[in-house]
Amino acid sequence: MSELKTYPNYIDGEWVTSDRTFENINPADTSDCVGIFCKANQADVNVAAQAAQDAFPAWAAMAGPARGAYLYKVADFLERNLDSLASDMTREEGKTLPEAKGETMRSINIFRYFAGEGSRIPGIQVPSERDRVFMYAVRRPLGVVAQINPWNFPSAIPAWKLAPALVAGNTALVKPATAAPLSAWRIAEACHEAGIPKGVVNLICGSGGEVGDAMVHAEPVKALSFTGSVPIGQILHGQASARRIRIQLEMGGKNPTIVLADADIDKAVANTINAAMFSTGQKCTATSRVIVEDAIHDDFLARTVEAARALRIGNGLEPGVEIGPAIDQDQLDTNDRYCRIAESEGAVLECGGQVLSHGDFANGFFFEPTVFSGVTERMRIAQEEVFGPVLGVMRAANFEDCMRIANKSEFGLSASIQTRDVSRIFEYVNRIEAGLITVNLPSAGVEYQLPFGGSKESSFGPKEQGPVALDFYTDYKTVYLGY
Ligand code: NAP
């Protein structure tokens, strides 16, 4: 274990301490304090916003490839520190070490991908109707952008917000989640070590109600990118609209996996368990409803329960552990509460469903991987996001019934189908109401080179990641040039 350290905020190129602090606690072992974090206040946010405003003209005027060169250096720094970044992430968030390494590699790849975008930022050039007129549109950065992050991908989400914002020429205020701020802090450290000019990147830790709120209201802020829960997203949408600043929201899900009778059942079970249980079910793209055609329902259920029972739960730093803890007591209570609600509504508890508090689990927020059968559309467990390792199995008469049940949700983030039938795959792709669609793969597990985001209540605004990530962080300037 590394020695306890106090982590300052990063404002205008300086590491700034404060009297008020909070502890970053390991959810697998609450006696392990990962670090003490300085808590910023509204005044700190305003100083950071002004610094970002002051840094904007020079950063925006820099050539795109030169900004990209800084991002390559950020990626190199992260890669040199891959092992310590991954163990920091496991300690603060609870996911297993291989998952944390994978996420850190993804952050590195994201910085490299957007570094390359610095040399590619596309504009539009089309022929004019008029003689001797040359017309084109170029992308321009917006100015200071605010980014509010959740705890469940504490490195990759800050990376996929920050990298496109910076390469497009914006300056940024980054707020990590209070439950897991260290991974984002280490990205700020990488930006500092890469020599990114002062004020371009600012990291501000503290509560959403204080720091997050101050960021949305800070006068220089021109856009807000938020990932988190629907209720907070709704509040921020109202505030951003009132100020007429640009907003992008990525929120919750109730993601279905459809399993048709012709599926490779072993793969279907493995993909469902992967999507529902890994990362302790704490992925926005996790499968929480599996909708199974009647003909194979009982076989699929039996195998899924067996696979869920076999999962090894524990501290993610230990080799062989597959499922870590919930992030905190609140999430643990939520998992437990939804299991009791599901039982009271008539769902059948097939396995799990209990808090683990004996032996090695005593100091952590551990919950058994849980499978319910007999889940029907009206049950709360079929409609509301739990955000834990809790899977509802739903029986469907046929493909049409599967589609109807899958689309009966206010959410529309990710969805998966398991089948060998090509016609049905295309039917599903056309008709499923989700922004991220997989076929014969888990519903979770996306790459950074394509757009990311949902539909319906899950998302609002332009998509993140891939080349389209620049849409949110740029505006066009259109030029008509007579010669
Ligand atoms: P959350 O409670 O909504 O918090 C998200 C962020 O908002 C945190 O940084 C939080 O700060 C901040 N915040 C809270 N209240 C605020 C306020 N009044 N004003 C401004 N900011 C405020 O969500 P979470 O529990 O961290 O994350 C879990 C949720 O995120 C789930 O619903 C999950 O589905 C969703 N998620 C979605 C995606 C996606 O791409 N669609 C990806 C990952 C997660 P504090 O940490 O200080 O409270």
- For residue range 156-203, what is the model confidence (pLDDT) as tens digits? 999 999 999 999 999 999 999 999 999 999 999 999 999 999 999 999
Reply yes or no on whether the pLDDT at 31 is more than 60: yes
Q: Cα of 400 to ligand 1 centre, how many Å? A: 35
Q: In this model, does residue 445 exceed pLDDT 60?
A: yes
Residues 21 and 3: their CA atoms lie apart, in Å, by 17
Paired with 10 in beta bridges are 15, 203
Supply the pLDDT for residue 274: 98
d(CA 125, CA 162): 28
Q: Ligand 1 atom 37: the closest Cα is on which residue?
A: 251
Instruction: Using DSSP, state whether 459 is helix, strand or coil.
Output: strand
In the reported structure, the alpha carbon of residue 267 is separated from the centroid of ligand 1 by a whole-number distance in angstroms of 32
Class of 255-447 in CATH: alpha beta
Alpha carbon distances (Å) from 343 to 62, 136, 349, 385, 428: 59, 61, 7, 16, 31
Ligand 1 center to 210 CA (angstroms): 14
Q: pLDDT digits over 349-376, tens only?
A: 999 999 999 999 999 999 999 999 999 9
Nearest-CA residue for ligand 1 atom 47 is: 207
Q: What dihedral angle (degrees, nearest 10) is formed by the CA atoms of 365, 369, 374, 377?
A: 60
Q: Report how far residue 124's alpha carbon sits from residue 114's, in angstroms, rounded to the nearest whole number.
A: 20
Buried/exposed 6-34: b ≥16 CB within 10 Å, e otherwise: ebbbbbbbeebebeeebebbbbbbbebeb
Q: Are 263 and 420 in contact, with CB atoms under 8 Å apart?
A: yes
| Nearest atom in ligand 1 to 458's CA | 41
Rounded to 5 degrees, what are φ and ψ at 430? -70, -35
Assign 59 a pLDDT band (cuts: 50, 70, 90): very high
pLDDT digits (tens, 9 = 90+) for 219-273: 999 999 999 999 999 999 999 999 999 999 999 999 999 999 999 999 999 999 9
Cβ < 6 Å from ligand 1: which residues? 148-153, 175, 177-179, 207-209, 212-213, 227-229, 232, 235-236, 250-253, 284, 385, 387, 413, 454, 458
Token code pair at residue 217:
């209201």
Which amino acids are annotated catalytic? 250, 284
Average pLDDT of the chain is 97
- Overall average pLDDT of the 284-303 stretch: 98
Using the Cα atoms of residue 110, residue 111, residue 117 and residue 119 in order, give the sign of their dihedral.
negative
Residue 473's closest CA among 70, 52, 141?
Answer: 141
Average pLDDT over residues 47-66: 98
CA distance 298 to 430: 28
Which residue CA neighbors atom 10 of ligand 1 most closely? 208
CA of 226 to the centre of ligand 1 (A): 8
**What is the DSSP code string of 377-402?**
TTSHHHHS---SSEEEEEEESSHHHH
Q: Which pLDDT value is given to residue 4?
A: 87
| 269: nearest Cα among 237, 235, 233, 307 | 307
Atom 35, ligand 1: residue with shortest CA distance: 228
Instruction: Report the b/e string of 111-123 with b at 16+ CB within 10 A.
Output: bbbbbebbeebee
Count of C-beta atoms within a 10 Å radius of residue 215: 30
Cβ-in-10-Å burial (0-12, 13-18, 19+) of 138 comes to: middle
Top mutation candidate among 204, 284, 385, 447 for ligand 1, by most atoms within 8 Å of CB: 284
pLDDT per residue as tens digits for the range 133-150: 999 999 999 999 999 999
Query: What is the spatial distance between Cα 420 and Cα 432, in angstroms, rounded to a whole number?
Result: 17
CA of 227 to the centre of ligand 1 (A): 6
Residue whose structure tokens are 């300052």: 8
Q: Cβ distance 444 to 275 under 8 Å? A: yes
**What confidence category does residue 129 fall into, taking pLDDT thresholds of 50, 70 and 90?**
very high
Task: Specify the residue with its C-alpha closest to ligand 1, atom 20.
Answer: 212
SS3 9: strand
Ligand 1 centroid distance, CA of 231 (Å)? 9
pLDDT over threshold 90, residue 3: no
Measuring from atom 22 of ligand 1, which residue has the nearest CA?
A: 208
Q: What is the pLDDT of residue 2?
A: 54
Using alpha carbons, select from 299, 302, 288 the residue that is nearest to residue 442. 288
Domain ranges of the chain: 6-251+458-482, 255-447
| Ligand 1 nearest atom to the CA of residue 385, by list position | 32
CATH number for the domain whose boundaries are 6-251+458-482? 3.40.605.10
Please give the number of the atom of ligand 1 that sits closest to the Cα of 215: 20
pLDDT at position 390: 98
Q: Which of 95, 147, 251, 332 to probe ligand 1 with, by most ligand atoms within 8 A of CB? A: 251
